[in-house]
Amino acid sequence: MQHNNGIARRHLVLALGLALALQQFGSKLGHADELDDITKAGVIKVGIFEDFPPFSSAGTDLKPQGYDIDVINALAKALNVKAEMTGITGQNRIPSLTEHKLDLLVSVGVSDERKKVVAFTAPYAPYTIDVMGPKALSVKSAADLVGKSVAVNRGTLEDTSLTTAAPAGTDIQRFNDYNGVISAFLAGQVQLMVVGNDVGASVLAKHPAIEPESKFQLLNSPSAMAINKGQDKLQAKLDEIIAKMKQDGSLNEISKKWLFVPLPAGF
């Protein structure tokens, strides 16, 4: 009798183990086709920088606006779903995607390091990373950063690019968002800042007295969208929508609206 009970208990343990394994496997399958998940839910969850004008920022009505916002809304319309936008930081955006809290990230610079973790769509926005400073300050290359203070947004591609290029003796000051970077620069807390050319242009337009200018370029990296690896159907669909927006001119209109210039030739 005890022998039979032992067998029964072992069978029960095996059954419970199998059920748990199937549950975990089913959970993983829940993310097997994110395009289907998005379509069924009627929502695409997108991570955005909330203080990244002209790509995204709060308008006078406190609603997000900008290049990224227009593109996200166009994507959602093409997918026939609603766009749910969530504010993220340079530090938490990749984990938010890989942990399936988000379906999509925008304004992501493509790098070999990031390709190991996420997949990328076709480029949808021109983007360069520049070292910017007042016209009166003589800086022509990375070598001239020695002894200079430079502000950068922590955990972003700008941070990686600056850290790679900056020689020893550069005073790199990292901030948690772009507002912190720009504020530090405008207040004279730092001599230089590393930002995208679009952000730099908006600072120049609003603060002509400082005469900020691009000193040199750290990287020319058109922005792409990031999705989880293995989502071939989602990637193909997003690439299809981006290609159509380029072809029908709607992406060019967004560029002229927010970046004040048309898309580069051959983009």
Rounded CA gap, 121 and 240, in Å? 10
Q: How far is CA 190 from the centre of its chain?
A: 25
Polymer length of the chain: 267
Compute the C-alpha angle 60/52/211, nearest 5°.
Answer: 95
Rounded CA gap, 63 and 145, in Å? 38
CATH number of 34-126+222-258: 3.40.190.10
Tokens for 92, please give them. 């938490």
Residue type, 203: V
Tokens 């800086």 belong to which residue?
139
Using an 8 Å Cβ cutoff, are 121 and 102 in contact? no
- The correct CATH number of 128-220 out of 3.60.9.10, 1.20.58.760, 3.40.190.10, 3.90.1150.10 is 3.40.190.10
Q: How many CB atoms lie within 10 A of CB 41?
A: 13
Q: How far is CA 257 from the centre of its chain?
A: 20
* pTM (global) more than 0.75: no
Compute the C-alpha angle 201/206/210, nearest 5°.
Answer: 85
Compute the C-alpha angle 21/22/27, nearest 5°.
Answer: 100
CATH 3.40.190.10 in the chain, residue ranges: 34-126+222-258, 128-220
Strands (E), 100-203: 104-109, 118-120, 128-134, 149-153, 171-175, 192-196
Model pLDDT for residues 147-172, shown as the tens digit of each residue? 999 999 999 889 999 999 999 999 99
Strands (E), the chain: 43-48, 57-58, 64-65, 82-87, 104-109, 118-120, 128-134, 149-153, 171-175, 192-196, 212-220, 223-228
Rounded CA gap, 86 and 249, in Å? 28
Rounded CA gap, 6 and 4, in Å? 5
What string of pLDDT tens digits covers the 267 residues of the chain?
Answer: 444 444 544 544 444 444 445 444 444 444 579 999 999 999 999 999 998 888 999 999 999 999 999 999 999 999 999 999 999 998 899 999 999 999 999 999 888 899 999 999 999 998 889 999 998 899 999 999 999 999 999 998 899 999 999 999 999 999 999 889 999 999 999 999 999 877 776 776 677 677 788 899 898 878 999 999 999 999 999 999 999 999 999 999 999 888 877 888 888
- Enclosing H/E stretch for 256: helix 250-258
